[in-house]
């Protein structure tokens, strides 16, 4: 379905749509205006000024994808929007920042996402040996996402570097829980990757995947969770922290329970004075989501990252009986937003991409939907179709992913899309008036 191209994006009465249209910083001012009955023009102006300090820079990729599309109504509509104007939108969510080309969860990656118009940016949250929260995709990924193996801290890794030998691949495991926050601060981010056939640390670290680049790798600046909150405020974007599953046994260090960990993440937003309406806390652990719903003011927008495709034998997005709990049971628990991967939400019907039974059931139950992850890599050049596995026959060119995005937006009705290169989703959302 294609709406009129380049629809003007106007403020609407629904608060969620206001956030998507105005961006997080301006939305905060709007929210204050709505609930506090006195003039706050100066607050709104300051919020708008903060967001305006990060101009939108989409670069060539969105139109490169449009040019790569086969001719059709959607391509024509998108071509008409080449000149913009473009503004920040919460429909576009920075997945680990702008991790297609920048080291994930670094100042540089987060800043790039904001510059591409992402209205919300993600900090994956885990903890150090001294229970300090930091931004990392996994508790035990330091060996692939930082330079730890090239530093004296390599001696503290759970599993030291072991070179490849014969049929055995090289390996290592370095966790945030292996080191203190002070030690974590000495590290630098790199593009996620490792060379499995490496015989030296240097070879192992030089393992960036072909679908990424080291052009902007440099020395990525790592961040604590609290520092990410401050940066996102400065950038004028909203927050979607993901509480990562611990790789260590919980309770950690005797009394650090899963509930304490979940509460600590929320406490850092409270300490920073962040309005709960600007935060979308997420977890693959449904118990975390239920905890936030039952115990905090931040549960109203808690996001259940649905990985039942991986945890339930026989899961099929086309068969409701293969899901447990049901969509209705999730709603009864207070869940309002689910976030499965792209492929779970779509299927093929008569050669066309259409919403899956999962997507229809979620909507029928009253759940809102976010999905992940767009623009992660080229499905054509690199042949890995995990994200597109239910619609492989419809994704034959790089540009075809925009047809998938259109179905997700217009037919499935997702409220946001995680993207490794947010500029593409920003472009689409501005063009189609989302």
Separation between Cα atoms, residue 337 and residue 302, nearest integer Å: 7
- Enter the tokens of residue 339: 């976030």
pLDDT number for residue 32: 32
pLDDT number for residue 36: 31
Which residues have CB under 8 Å from 407's CB, separation 6+?
A: 1, 346, 353, 354, 355
Separation between Cα atoms, residue 396 and residue 391, nearest integer Å: 10
Distances (CA, A) of 246 to 7, 193, 283, 388: 44, 21, 12, 28
Low-confidence ranges of the chain (pLDDT < 70): 1-53, 379-384
Q: What DSSP character marks residue 159?
A: E
pLDDT number for residue 31: 36
User: What b/e sequence results for 75-90 when a residue is b if at least 16 CB atoms lie within 10 Å of its CB, and e otherwise?
Assistant: bebbeebeeeebbbbb
* Cβ-contact 189, 146 below 8 angstroms: yes
Distances (CA, A) of 5 to 15, 273, 398, 415, 417: 24, 39, 21, 19, 20
pLDDT number for residue 382: 63
Q: Where are the alpha helices (DSSP H) in 306-356?
A: 308-311, 327-332
pLDDT number for residue 47: 44
Separation between Cα atoms, residue 6 and residue 8, nearest integer Å: 6
Spell out the domain ranges in the chain.
15-122+223-431, 124-222
Tens of pLDDT, residues 26-80: 333 333 333 333 333 333 344 445 555 678 999 999 999 999 999 999 999 999 9
CATH dotted code for 15-122+223-431:
3.20.20.190
Separation between Cα atoms, residue 289 and residue 337, nearest integer Å: 10
């Amino acid at each position: 379905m294609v709406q009129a191209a380049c629809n003007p994006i106007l403020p609407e009465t629904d608060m969620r749509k206001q956030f998507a249209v105005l961006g997080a910083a301006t939305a905060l001012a709007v929210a204050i205006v709505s609930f506090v009955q006195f003039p706050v023009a100066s607050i709104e102006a300051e919020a708008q000024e903060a967001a305006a300090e990060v101009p939108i820079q989409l670069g060539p990729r969105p139109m490169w994808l449009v040019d790569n599309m086969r001719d059709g109504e959607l391509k024509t509509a998108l071509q008409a929007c080449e000149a913009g104007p473009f503004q920040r939108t919460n429909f576009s969510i920075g997945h680990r920042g702008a991790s297609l080309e920048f080291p994930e969860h670094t100042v540089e990656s987060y800043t790039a996402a904001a510059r591409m118009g992402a209205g919300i940016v993600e900090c994956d949250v885990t903890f150090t040996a001294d229970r300090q929260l930091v931004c990392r995709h996994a508790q035990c990924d330091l060996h692939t996402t930082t330079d730890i193996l090239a530093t004296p801290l390599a001696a503290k890794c759970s599993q030291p570097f072991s070179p490849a030998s014969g049929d055995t691949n090289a390996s290592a495991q370095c966790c945030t829980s292996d080191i203190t926050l002070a030690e974590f601060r000495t590290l630098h981010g790199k593009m996620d990757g490792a060379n499995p056939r490496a015989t030296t640390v240097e070879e192992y670290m030089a393992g960036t995947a072909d679908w990424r680049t080291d052009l902007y790798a440099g020395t990525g600046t790592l961040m604590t969770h609290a520092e990410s909150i401050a940066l996102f405020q400065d950038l004028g974007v909203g927050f979607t922290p993901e509480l990562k599953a611990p790789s260590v046994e919980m309770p950690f260090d005797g009394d650090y329970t899963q509930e304490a960990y979940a509460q600590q993440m929320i406490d850092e937003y409270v300490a920073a004075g962040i309005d709960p309406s600007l935060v979308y806390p997420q977890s693959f652990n449904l118990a975390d989501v239920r905890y936030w719903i039952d115990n905090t003011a931040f549960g109203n927008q808690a996001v259940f990252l649905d990985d039942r495709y991986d945890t339930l034998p026989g899961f099929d997005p086309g068969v409701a009986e293969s899901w447990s709990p049901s969509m209705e049971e999730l709603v009864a628990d207070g869940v309002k937003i689910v976030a499965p991967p792209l492929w779970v939400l779509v299927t093929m019907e008569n050669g066309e991409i259409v919403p899956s039974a999962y997507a229809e059931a979620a909507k029928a139950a009253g759940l809102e939907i976010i999905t992940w992850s767009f623009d992660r890599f080229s499905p054509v050049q690199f042949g890995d179709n995990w994200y597109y596995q239910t619609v492989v026959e419809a994704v034959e060119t790089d540009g075809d992913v925009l047809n998938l995005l259109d179905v997700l937006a217009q037919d499935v009705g997702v409220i946001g899309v995680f993207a490794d290169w947010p500029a593409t989703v920003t472009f689409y959302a501005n063009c189609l008036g989302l």
